[in-house]
Chain A
Amino acid sequence: MILKDLDERDILNGLRALLAEKGIADAAEIAARIAATDAANPGQGAAMVARAWTDPGFRALMLADGTKAAEAMGIPMRGLPPLGVLENVPGLHHLVVCTLCSCYPRAVLGYPPFWYKSAAYRAKAVRTPRALLREFGTELPADIAIRVVDSTADYRWMVLPERPAGTEGWDAARLAAIVREGDMIGVTIPSV
């Protein structure tokens, strides 16, 4: 391994200086990119879910083409991997993992959480998924089948959870407030 004697913070210092010197990326550009990336957050995905729960046309669009649905919500998707949406239905629950690295639907959920990138999560999701869900406090009834989605290539996947009982008559804003990050990866289930 090269640069073995350098700390990673020093490597970053070197990279930052050289990228600026070569005109590849300057400080302002990096700051702008950080700001744009920080702006993506699970509230965006939650707004999509809530709209799908209240607008059948949007739900159909979201399931057919997640990228177009995200764009319809004003989420920038240009140049990003296509977004696929996995529909939880009665009796079938989806769980997303990337066993090879940490592919995550960042455009609609923001940075991947720490647990999603962990070796334990990546190892367990495909082998002991029901027990893994219990670590997140999710007890899935035995008659609900689990479909694990290993995100290995060019798509990014989010889960469209089922609308929980007890939310009849709620508007989209109120519904969006109950949808959490983990609900859209499948480690948790929205509830009221």
Chain B
Amino acid sequence: MSNDVPADLADQVPRAMHDLGGVPRFLCEAVDTAPHALDDFDREVDAIRQILGAKGVMSVDELRRGIEALPEDVYHRLSYYRRWVRSIASILIEKGVISEAALRAHATSRGGR
């Protein structure tokens, strides 16, 4: 009954940056309720993630872990799908699906859009 965790005790434990429920620093920030259209980059990253999931190459849980592993300043600075593409690349490299060197080689060759 009275064994609830006092908020001041819980707040002493470091919190993961993505775990945002009730976080004081965002309580005074207005919610931007305006529509924001997705662009081609966003849609392509989303589609790639779905395909990787459907083919068993990488799960949504791995995607989330990769996002949660971003440095806090990067997490809050990057747009939603920019976080995703960083997570996808790092997870696929970690799993050996692709190599960092190959990704770098193709990244600068700018194929496609």
Contacts and interface: CB of A to CB of B under 8 A. Distances in A.
Nearest to B58: A24
Contacts of A100: 18-21, 64
Contact of B30 (A17, A34, A120): A120
Contacts of B98: 15, 18-19, 22
B20 A13 contact: no
Contacts of B20: 99-100, 119, 122-123
Given A13-B111, A119-B76, A34 B43 contact: yes
B87 to A, nearest CB: 10
B43 A37 contact: yes
Q: What range describes how many residues of B lie at the interface?
A: 35 or more
Interface in B27-63: 27, 29-36, 38, 41, 43-48, 50-52, 54-55, 57
Contact of B104 (A14, A118, A125): A14
B13 interface: no
Contacts of A111: 38, 46
A192 interface: no
Given A24-B52, A102-B80, A114-B36, A15 B18 contact: no
B21 to A, nearest CB: 3
Contacts of B38: 111
B41 A115 contact: no
Interface stretch (A25-33, A43-51, A83-91, A167-175): A25-33
A18 B25 CA distance: 40
A15 B103 contact: yes
B34 A119 contact: no
Contacts of A119: 20, 23, 26, 29, 76
Nearest to B33: A115
A126 interface: yes
Given A14-B104, A122-B26, A127-B21, A37 B109 contact: no
B52 to A, nearest CB: 7
Given A8-B41, A120-B32, 12 more contacts: A2-B93, A3-B89, A13-B112, A16-B48, A18-B98, A30-B47, A101-B18, A120-B30, A120-B31, A123-B20, A132-B31, A150-B21
Interface of B: 18-27, 29-36, 38, 41, 43-48, 50-52, 54-55, 57, 64, 67, 70-71, 74, 76, 78, 80-82, 85-86, 88-90, 92-93, 97-98, 100, 102-112
Interface of A: 1-3, 6, 8-19, 22, 24-25, 27, 29-31, 33-34, 37-38, 79, 97, 99-102, 111, 113-115, 117-128, 132, 135-136, 150
16 contacts: A2-B89, A3-B90, A8-B78, A9-B41, A11-B103, A12-B45, A13-B111, A14-B103, A15-B98, A25-B51, A37-B46, A113-B35, A123-B22, A124-B27, A127-B21, A135-B30
